[in-house]
Amino acid sequence: MDILITGGGGMIGRKLVERLAREGTLNGEKIDRVTLQDVVEPTVPPDAPFAVETRTTDLSDPGEADNLVSGHPQVIYHLAAVVSGEAETDFDKGYRVNLTGTWNLLEAVRRAGNVPRLVFTSSIAVYGAPFPEPIPDDFFHQPLTSYGAQKACCELLLSDYTRKGFVDGIGIRLPTICIRPGKPNKAASGFFSGIMREPLAGIEAVCPVDDTVRHWVASPRAAAGFLVHAAGLDGEEVGPRRNLNMPGHCVSIREMLDSLRRVAGDKVADRVRFEPDPFISRIVAGWPQNFDPQKSVELGFTTDPDFDSIIRVHIEDELGGRIAD
Amino acid sequence: MDILITGGGGMIGRKLVERLAREGTLNGEKIDRVTLQDVVEPTVPPDAPFAVETRTTDLSDPGEADNLVSGHPQVIYHLAAVVSGEAETDFDKGYRVNLTGTWNLLEAVRRAGNVPRLVFTSSIAVYGAPFPEPIPDDFFHQPLTSYGAQKACCELLLSDYTRKGFVDGIGIRLPTICIRPGKPNKAASGFFSGIMREPLAGIEAVCPVDDTVRHWVASPRAAAGFLVHAAGLDGEEVGPRRNLNMPGHCVSIREMLDSLRRVAGDKVADRVRFEPDPFISRIVAGWPQNFDPQKSVELGFTTDPDFDSIIRVHIEDELGGRIAD
C-alpha cells in the first residue's frame, strides 16, 4: 500500500507516520511507501519498515497536487493547512492554502482516476456560537473564523466529490489537540496545550482566558487513532454524510488545572498564571465546547478515557515518563 | 442609488427589475442606475425611471467581476448561477460559474472597498435528506447535489467576507419558485412549475414524480419581494448568521393539482398526466419539503398567503388574467 500525507511535517503528520512505522500496516495491508509532503522538510521516522519519500513543496502551487497523486496512493491523508490564528490574520494565505489547496488536491485526485480513500482533517471550528449543549451531529456549520469557513467549504467539496465517485472521502473534525508537543504554533487554541506542556517541562505558562472556559479536546495519540480508523471505514456504512465529529472530552480550564495538580503535583500546577488576552478570548468565545458525536462513536472511533489520561499520554510519549522538577 | 444585478437576464432578475422599475426606489432611496449582467442579453424593462445598462458577459471570466463593481454599486443582487440539473450533469461548469464566479465577485467587491449590501440567492438545495419535519433554521447543510454544495460553499464565503467587513452580505435560500413563467429551464425542479403553467396555457403537462411528493414553494412575486426586503435589512439585527431560509408553502403535488382544479377548473387540471422519471425522482427525493423559517419571519420577510394565491399570481402577472380554454 502507498500512502500520501500532505502536511506530513506537522505534529499530527508526525504522530501518524510514527504510528504507521510502528505498525507497518494500514487496514490490514502491508505499507510499501509513505510520501510526506509539507512546506517544511518533514521528519522521516527512523526504522520505518517502508520506504519514506519527502517532498518539500506548496500544495497550492499549480501542478503540485497532480505530482503528488501521480503514483496513485491508495490512502491520502490531507492534513496540510494554515492554522486558525494565521488564517485569521492572513486572509489570502488562509484561503489559498486551506481552500484552494484542498480543491486542487481533489481535482488532481479526480484527474488521477483511482478513487483513493482521502482522510481530511477538518475541525470543530466549522461550528460557531451560540450552540446547543451538547452539539448534535446535525447542528449547522456557521463558523466565526476564516479557518472554520475554509474547513467547512472543504467538507462540502469532499462530500460532493465523494458522491460523484471522484474520491472516497472521510472528513474528521478534530477536537483541539491537547497536549500538543513541541513549540507553540499560531493556532489560537495553542494555549490549551501550553498551560499543560510548559509547566510539565518546568516552564511558567500564561493562560489568556478565564478558568471557566470549556473546550473539546483529544490527545495527539487519540488523533493518530482517528486517522488510522478513518482509513479503514466502509464508505457504504458511513453513508453520504462524510464529515464526522470526533469523540473527545469537554473540559474547563479549571478541570484541566485540577488534573495537572492531580497527575503532576502542586509545584507543576502552580506554574500557570492568568493574563486575559482579548484577541484570543474573543476567538475562543465563538468556539464549541461540548459534543454528542453519536455517528463517530457508532462507527467505532475511540478517544482518551479522561483528561488525566491525556496528561499521562504526554508524559509517556513526549517526556520519557519524566516531569520537570 | 446604483444597483448591480448579476444573472439579470434570468427569470428572477427580470421580476426584480420590473418591480424596481415600478417603484423607482429601493430602501427609500431613488434608484439612479441598474446594471443587468448575464451571459444572455438581459431584457430592459420599458419605461424604467432610471438608467439601465446591460452587460452580456461571463462573471467567471478573469477581470469581469472587477469591471462590474468598478462603479461602486450600493446594492448588488448576485443571482447568476447554473441551475441544479445542469450543475449535476456538467460538474466543471457548475463549479466554475456557481462557486468560482461567486468567489470572484466577492474578491472584486473586497478590492473595490465600498462594502455594498450584496444579496445572494442561495437555495434550499443546501439541505440533504433525511430531514427533521419541519427543518429548523439550525439544521445542517449536507447537500445531495453539486448545485447544493456550490450554494452552501458560497454561503460560507458570503458570511466570512461579511464578518471581515469586505461586504455586507445577505444570503436568501429561495424556495422552489412556482409558477415559473416562460419556457422550462434545466432545473430539476422545473416540473413543479410546468404542471401548473402548461395546463393554464392550454398545453398538456407531464409530472415525473408521484403525487405524494411535497415541496417548499413561493411565487416569483414573493421572490422579488424577498430580494427587495433583503436589500433593506439591518445587518446588525440579522447578526453573523447571514444566510436565511425564506418563508414558503409546503405543498404536495396532489394539493397543487387540487388548487389548480379549484382555481382554473376541471378542464385545465385534467391536462396533467403522470410519467415517472427515475433521474428526476432520485434528485427530488433528496430535497427538503417543509421548513420552520423563524428567523426570516422575525426579520419581516413575507410570502404568498396560500397555494391558490400562487396560481392566481401567475394568471394575473403572466396571463393577463386569462386562462386558456
pLDDT in tens, A286-316: 889 999 999 999 999 999 999 999 999 999 9
User: How far apart, in whole angstroms, are the C-alpha atoms of residue A60 and residue A154?
Assistant: 14
pLDDT (average), residues B75-97:
94
Segment B134-184, tens digit of pLDDT: 999 999 999 999 999 999 999 999 999 999 999 999 999 999 999 999 887
User: How far apart, in whole angstroms, are the C-alpha atoms of residue A135 and residue A125?
Assistant: 13
Residue B84 has pLDDT above 90, yes or no: no
pLDDT (average), residues B9-26:
96
- Res B187: pLDDT: 75
What CATH superfamily classification does A2-177+218-245 receive?
A: NAD(P)-binding Rossmann-like Domain (3.40.50.720)
The residue behind cell 439550525 is B138
The residue behind cell 479557518 is A147
Mutate to test the interface with A, among B140, B150, B242 (most CBs of A within 10 A): B140
* Closest C-alpha to B207, from B148, B277, B117, B138: B277
- Res B166: pLDDT: 98
Q: Using CB atoms, which residue from B132, B164, B240 is nearest to A91?
A: B164
Between B198 and A283, residue with greater pLDDT = B198
User: How far apart, in whole angstroms, are the C-alpha atoms of residue A269 and residue A291?
Assistant: 27
Q: Give A6's strand partners.
A: A37, A78
Grid cell of B325 as nine digits: 380554454
A→B contacts (Cβ < 8 Å), by residue, are 91, 128, 132, 137-144, 146, 149, 152-153, 156-157, 159-160, 163-164, 240-241
CB B199 within 8 A of CB B181: no
Segment B248-307, tens digit of pLDDT: 999 999 999 999 999 999 999 999 999 999 988 888 888 899 999 999 999 999 999 999
CB-CB neighbours of A133 under 10 Å: 12
* Closest C-alpha to B17, from B57, B58, B51, B67: B51
Partner-chain contact A240 B164, CB within 8 Å: no
Q: Using CB atoms, which residue from B138, B240, B241 is nearest to A139?
A: B138
State the sign of the Cα–Cα–Cα–Cα dihedral A278, A195, A88, B127: negative
A272, containing H or E segment: strand A272-274
B→A contacts (Cβ < 8 Å), by residue, are 91, 128, 132, 137-144, 146, 149, 152-153, 156-157, 159-160, 163-164, 240-241
What CATH superfamily classification does A190-216+249-289+305-318 receive?
A: UDP-galactose 4-epimerase, domain 1 (3.90.25.10)
B78, containing H or E segment: strand B75-78
CB-CB neighbours of B29 under 10 Å: 12
Locate the domains of chain A by residue range: 2-177+218-245, 190-216+249-289+305-318
Mean pLDDT of chain B: 95
Grid cell of A34 as nine digits: 509513505
CB A247 within 8 A of CB A301: yes
Residue B60 has pLDDT above 90, yes or no: no
A147 belongs to the catalytic site: yes
Partner-chain contact B143 A156, CB within 8 Å: yes
CB A129 within 8 A of CB A85: no
Mutate to test the interface with B, among A99, A142, A167 (most CBs of B within 10 A): A142
CB B36 within 8 A of CB B9: yes
Mutate to test the interface with A, among B88, B127, B160, B243 (most CBs of A within 10 A): B160
The residue behind cell 466570512 is B160
DSSP secondary structure of A142-204: --SSHHHHHHHHHHHHHHHHHHTTS-EEEEEEEPEETTPPSS--S-TTHHHHHHHHHHHTT--
pLDDT (average), residues B83-91:
91
User: One of B77, B95, B127, B147 is an active-site residue; which one?
Assistant: B147
Backbone angles phi, psi at A57, to 5 degrees: -145, 170
- Res B77: pLDDT: 98
Residues sharing a CB contact under 8 Å with residue A38, sequence separation 6 or more, in sequence order: A6, A7, A8, A9, A10, A13, A54, A55, A56, A80
User: How far apart, in whole angstroms, are the C-alpha atoms of residue B80 and residue B281?
Assistant: 26
- Return the CATH architecture of domain B2-175+218-245: 3-Layer(aba) Sandwich (3.40)
3-class secondary structure, A3: strand
Contacts of A144 in chain B (CB under 8 A): 163, 240
A51, containing H or E segment: strand A51-56
3-class secondary structure, A238: helix
The residue behind cell 413561493 is B218
Residue B108 has pLDDT above 80, yes or no: yes
User: How far apart, in whole angstroms, are the C-alpha atoms of residue A169 and residue B97?
Assistant: 24
pLDDT (average), residues B231-239:
97
Amino acid in the structure at residue B202: G
Contacts of B285 in chain A (CB under 8 A): none
- Res B32: pLDDT: 98
Burial track B159-170 (b if 16+ CB lie within 10 A, e otherwise): bbbbbeebbbbb
In terms of CA atoms, which chain B residue is nearest residue A146? B160
Q: Which residues of chain A have pLDDT under 70?
A: none
